[in-house]
Structure 1
Amino acid sequence: MEADLSAMPRPSSQLHIPSIDRPPEHNLSFTPPAIKSRSLLTQSSPPQEADISDSPRLLRKQSSLGVPSNRLGISNSQPDLLVKDNSRSDTSSPPPVVGLDITENDTERLTLDPADMAHFRKWVIGFCVVNFDLEIGQALDYVYPPMELTLSEQKNICFSAFPDSNVFEVGDQVYNVRVRASRSGFAVSGPTTSAGFLYGYVFFRQKKDRTIRRGYFQKSLVLLSQHPYVGLFSRMVAILGPTFFETGQPALEAACMNIAHWDPPAEGQAHDLSFLGHVLQVEIPQLYKPQLLETSPFDMSNLQPDLQIMASLPVGGLYHHFKDILKDLWLIWELVLLAEPVVVIAPDPGVCSEAVVSMVDLINPIPYCGDYRPYFTIQDTDFKYFPASNLVLGVTNPYFNTAIEHWPHIVRVGRQQLRKPDGTLITAHGNHIHHRKAKPGLGNRSNVLFDFVQGITSKRKAVIAKDRELLRMLTEAAVRGHPQDWVLNNILRRHFVDLTEKFLVPLNRYFSTLIPVNIPNTKPPRLRPFQTDQFMKSLKEHGPQLPFKSTFKTRTSTTDPTKELYSQFLKCGNFATWLQLRTTEAQAEMNKRYVQSLCDVDPSRSSADLKLRIQEVLYPSSMSCSDLANAMTDKQREQLYKRLDSLLESGDQR
């Protein structure tokens, strides 16, 4: 039974944009005009057609052995969700053929019982195997364990699983992506409470293969998780990827069983995780708290970065990717702090994705308010709908050179690696390679990968002074080759953590005045409202802690850089997320003090009003009362039960 797709609407030209300077046969998103695909459903089921009206076609190919692969079928509960199809052909399989891809799916192999699945899903949602087919483009071969993904999620995962640039490299790449989860039950809350995202960790392999008409084997293994543990999961796919492509599904089964036997992740705790013959010592981050070596359980003098991992930090890190443009980091810090729209352009997805994650981490412990995409492609379904602010976007496709010409801030990071036509590296010797010195402008229309100068182009003038002593120390360390990069990365990150803390000093000082000093037991406490004019008055009185540029002292302009920076911050989304976080923390502390005041009340001063307040805490009937109940310790709860029993007995006697 065949479903004729030739009459269906063609992909929208707005989303299906080929990469610049790449012939169609070398374009990862190239799709022939009309393709027929064998239906995955049984004869009794009507053919289900994917909606391809707004993106390149995403079809599921058949197994090379003639047996239906464990493709994603159609969910009975939700027609647009895909689940695995366990049907098998009655015909016997032919003998193995030359060039057989051992990563193809065998439906009889992969099994995971419900108990193991529950433990597995504490860490990982599942694995996706994505293949590039010359006729149909990116295709989702199969997923394991079975999961439901919307069509939009499938598309975004598939298109994100392949490098979106015209550098035809041979070898392996590891990078991370962040895709919107429209209705998936696996998604966690993003930076804002209304948005959910899934995190993908990609191992992409490309190698020459004469048995393939295109001449290249291209396939990706994607670890999908609800957690942004970029350091841990990037290391895991780097271990699993080569083994998976060499041995096939047994490696995937072993990895899943390893994960299923891990203890659940605990914030701020260290875990010893056994994974494919390695023991990974991993520290799980605390929410909105930076991970630093000084606060980790690891021995800094004997650190093994490949095995001792801080889960939230990318493998490369801030220093590794920005070492050539360190002086620009202070301006980048200002842009992220003020939630300005920033595009990061890099030569490859690995540099691009780790640079974006490192930039968002610059303002830790302030929760970043916006959307950030470590690696973004033009085929992503969000391509046409991004907001004008609160966004950090990582790209590699030269098309973005023209698509983002209106953006006010562009960061170019990562060293370009010149390659021969077959994808192998060209070694640079001395001055034999000449780099163009012209600084690219905002509207530069040339190929980014062949006119690439690292640096930042921004319409903002930086106001924070660089730490020249730190820059000198890092420069000298790079020349000496000591200390190691991971030590320098920690020093650099700690500087920006300290810078962010200094920025928050005036805000925390004023916020502390909003918290009641005394917490009576007469009514639940409430914070006073944050008033901008009162904060500015406090800022002027006490002054900032930040090192502003000295040039501002000699300017004739009447603009106060301190007042201007804080005014801009109070108007951006990062202030809202910071205020919400501080309010939640302060309210929780006040609730604890209020509950304790009820426990400490003099029994002789009992009243009907006191009895009512205790009942509200023990038997909450509203959200505010539920917050009070959540603030109780077991000891306090026991005390209040006894106090309530005493009040009820005394009331009966009266």
Structure 2
Amino acid sequence: MSNKNKKEIGDNNLEKRWDRFSNWIHCICVITFDLELGQALEGIYPKHAYLTKQEISNICYLAFPDSNSGCMGDTNFVIRLPKSPGKSELKREHVVYNSNCPPAFQINPKYYWGYVYFRQVKDISLPRGYFQKSVVILSKLPFNNLFSKIVSVIAPKYFENGEPILEAVLCNIDLWSDPLPGSTVSLPLLGTVIQTSIPHQKYSHSRSITSKEETDKLDYHIHMAAEDLNLFEALQPVLSHIHLLWELVLTSEPLVILASSPIYCSTMVLALIRMIQPLKYCADYRPYFTIHDGEFKQFASKTQNPPPVILGVTNPFFAKSLYHWPHSIKLGEHTGESYKYKLKKSPNPKMLDNTPGLYTAYKPFLQKDKSVIKKLLLGVSSKRPCEVQSALLKRHLLELTQSFIIPLERYIASLMPLKRDISPFKAAPLPLPFNPDDFFATLESTGPQLTSGIKGDWVGLYKKFFRSPNFNGWFNMRYTELALKLQALQLQALSDANLKLWVQGKPEVEVVDMVLKIKSKLEKCKEHDIPINSTIKRRLRERMQDIINALPEDLKNILSMS
């Protein structure tokens, strides 16, 4: 056996060895500062984990706060980076996860999430006089709360004890249960157990899949949500402008967040994309972005309009290179009085560089709900708990988004053909096409005014939304669901049909074609998750056998074997 074949077998065995680990995490990277190379990859765990040169370069630059930010001590923040072309396949476990989790928490196969723990402290024994190193967890899963906690458990112990800590972490994680939506899992990690709930699209309660005996052996528990964000705390600097920002996010407008630290800009970006839940934000977003990124030139280009993306940045150079962007938020150093941030229409880069505020000339389609803002501001003065403030803000934004999206959901449901138009002997019909004029005609009786007291140009907002990636993402998902439902109804009709009667007088070639079609449809049920139950599948196999029995013995044997 050649050395190459031995290596391939070895790599396959390693991947199989860490298969359960990879359900949660792609790899753990250690990034250090090299006097000659700058930020460099010191180690990757497991050792066989593969990253392209471009991915490694991006991680290295994103793993350290910008030199201008002066972050001393420990800094914990979130990054998101594109995968290299050709690396967008999903594992079976991740396909199952995506089909059951809320749309906003689905895995995007084109991106990695990175959870960074950076330490910078004075150390006179080192050539530069500073210890500078980051531990980065790279995952496909958007569990920002959970993985930020995990990396904060791992990194300090690694800085103190070195590589054996990461080897122990790999073994711990490789014992974890799969991240199944709707479950509550207990995750042993370095003598601790973190208990977390995986969100499900249809219900909020969870079932535990870890035994009490397993958790009793561990020192102590940490209970937390896999993905959670204190929305009020993050959005407090721009609280007076949440309705304007909701429109910008809803319609995928370009937006840049300038802050002094990756902690602040990444938190703000994540809060913004969560403003439109349960709608999934489908445009690009980077919680932390640097000038070293290969896409910097595209984003800074003044010869074309900025793309639909939300960027979080810390380098003051961005204030000048992106001053032509239509919308910017400049965050201050402190947040004590930040809810008084003003709306500024001047794109003057000098002002943007120095003065906190929201910079935009955007004219909202809808009026503010001043009562909600007043209630939240009173909560600040009365020192209402931040968690309560966040719950109030989340509920208001959820109701606003639902008021906007429910009329669209009702309209798209009307695009289903009538059940009588579905024939067991013909291909499933397609949903009717989306017609904006037909949708607008429904608004008088089913529009957002039924559930929201906010006044304004809702039609104008819908028209802008229809031109955005968020609409395309929502529509494609809903249209696919309708198409799969129609296929399921066609298969149900076929399972109910009397094929013994149908086969009489039919040419052999037509009967064989029907057998092959039923086999193909059963295969598609596995591949495309067509929503039919086991009873319908069993009956389809029975119908297939009915028509196979009507064929001559030679054909019957061939079809039974295939």
Q: Check conservation: 1:592, 1:628, Cα contact below 8 A.
A: no
**Counterpart position of 1:215:** 129
**C-alpha distance in 2, partners of 1:209/1:629?**
56
**Counterpart position of 1:647:** 547
**Counterpart position of 1:335:** 248
Cα deviation, 1:165-203, whole Å, max 9, x if unaligned, reads 523232100001111111474776999999711111100
**Counterpart position of 2:393:** 492
**C-alpha distance in 2, partners of 1:337/1:356?**
14
**Would the alpha carbon gap of residues 296 and 174 (structure 1) be closer, same or farther in structure 2, given more than 3 Å must change?**
farther
Matching residue within 459, 462, 465 for 1:563: 459
Matching residue within 431, 451, 462 for 1:527: 431
Matching residue within 121, 126, 149 for 1:235: 149
Q: Which amino acid aligns with 2:158?
A: F
Matching residue within 223, 231, 235 for 1:308: 223
**Would the alpha carbon gap of residues 346 and 479 (structure 1) be closer, same or farther in structure 2, given more than 3 Å must change?**
same
**Counterpart position of 1:167:** 69
Matching residue within 470, 474, 481 for 2:376: 474
**Counterpart position of 1:295:** 204
Q: Which has the higher helix share?
A: 2
Q: Establish whether residue 396 from structure 1 lines up as the match of residue 314 from structure 2.
A: yes
The aligned length equals 505
Secondary structure in 1 matching 2:349: coil
Secondary structure in 2 matching 1:121: helix
**C-alpha distance in 2, partners of 1:275/1:256?**
9
Alignment of 1:88-107 (within 5 A): none
1:508 is displaced (CA, Å) by 1.5
Matching residue within 434, 444, 448 for 2:349: 444
1:495 is displaced (CA, Å) by 2.3
Cα deviation, 1:290-313, whole Å, max 9, x if unaligned, reads 9xxx935499xxxxxx93333233
1:338 is displaced (CA, Å) by 0.6
1:206 is displaced (CA, Å) by 0.6
**Counterpart position of 1:277:** 191
**Would the alpha carbon gap of residues 493 and 193 (structure 1) be closer, same or farther in structure 2, given more than 3 Å must change?**
closer
Q: Check conservation: 1:344, 1:411, Cα contact below 8 A.
A: yes
**Counterpart position of 1:511:** 412
Matching residue within 339, 344, 360 for 2:257: 344
**Would the alpha carbon gap of residues 196 and 240 (structure 1) be closer, same or farther in structure 2, given more than 3 Å must change?**
same
Q: Which amino acid aligns with 2:262?
A: P
**C-alpha distance in 2, partners of 1:342/1:141?**
34
TM-score by length of 2: 0.80
**Would the alpha carbon gap of residues 525 and 274 (structure 1) be closer, same or farther in structure 2, given more than 3 Å must change?**
same
Q: Check conservation: 2:256, 2:328, Cα contact below 8 A.
A: yes
**C-alpha distance in 2, partners of 1:532/1:612?**
44
Secondary structure in 2 matching 1:384: helix
**Counterpart position of 2:447:** 543
1:121 is displaced (CA, Å) by 1.0
Q: Check conservation: 2:78, 2:114, Cα contact below 8 A.
A: yes
Matching residue within 305, 320, 323 for 1:405: 323
1:627 is displaced (CA, Å) by 6.9
**C-alpha distance in 2, partners of 1:209/1:489?**
40
Cα deviation, 1:414-459, whole Å, max 9, x if unaligned, reads 6438xxxxxxxxxx9x9xxxx99895842323684xx242x32112
Q: Check conservation: 2:107, 2:140, Cα contact below 8 A.
A: no
Worse-superposed segment, 232-241 or 382-391? 382-391
**Would the alpha carbon gap of residues 576 and 209 (structure 1) be closer, same or farther in structure 2, given more than 3 Å must change?**
same
Secondary structure in 2 matching 1:307: strand
**Counterpart position of 2:402:** 501
**Counterpart position of 1:600:** 496
**C-alpha distance in 2, partners of 1:624/1:160?**
41
**Counterpart position of 1:265:** 179
Cα deviation, 1:548-576, whole Å, max 9, x if unaligned, reads 765x5xxxxxxxx2221111111222111
**C-alpha distance in 1, partners of 2:235/2:128?**
36
Q: Establish whether residue 377 from structure 1 lines up as the match of residue 286 from structure 2.
A: no
Q: Which amino acid aligns with 2:256?
A: V
**Counterpart position of 2:24:** 123
**C-alpha distance in 2, partners of 1:296/1:475?**
32
Q: Which amino acid aligns with 2:546?
A: S
**C-alpha distance in 1, partners of 2:343/2:20?**
54
State the Cα RMSD in Å: 3.6
**Counterpart position of 2:557:** none
Q: Check conservation: 2:31, 2:63, Cα contact below 8 A.
A: yes
1:356 is displaced (CA, Å) by 0.8
Secondary structure in 2 matching 1:140: strand
**C-alpha distance in 2, partners of 1:436/1:516?**
51
Cα deviation, 1:494-518, whole Å, max 9, x if unaligned, reads 3222211111122122212210231
1:532 is displaced (CA, Å) by 2.1
- Aligned identity (percent) is 33
Secondary structure in 2 matching 1:619: helix
Q: Which amino acid aligns with 1:118?
A: D
**C-alpha distance in 1, partners of 2:491/2:185?**
35
Worse-superposed segment, 613-622 or 185-194? 185-194
Matching residue within 135, 145, 149 for 2:51: 149
1:238 is displaced (CA, Å) by 1.1
**Counterpart position of 1:585:** 481
**Counterpart position of 1:635:** 535
Q: Check conservation: 2:484, 2:531, Cα contact below 8 A.
A: yes
**C-alpha distance in 1, partners of 2:517/2:251?**
40
**C-alpha distance in 2, partners of 1:440/1:243?**
48
**C-alpha distance in 1, partners of 2:398/2:523?**
35
Q: Check conservation: 1:160, 1:377, Cα contact below 8 A.
A: yes
Worse-superposed segment, 567-576 or 465-474? 465-474
Q: Check conservation: 1:269, 1:284, Cα contact below 8 A.
A: yes
Cα deviation, 1:247-305, whole Å, max 9, x if unaligned, reads 1122212211111110121123221111222222222234xx59xxx935499xxxxxx
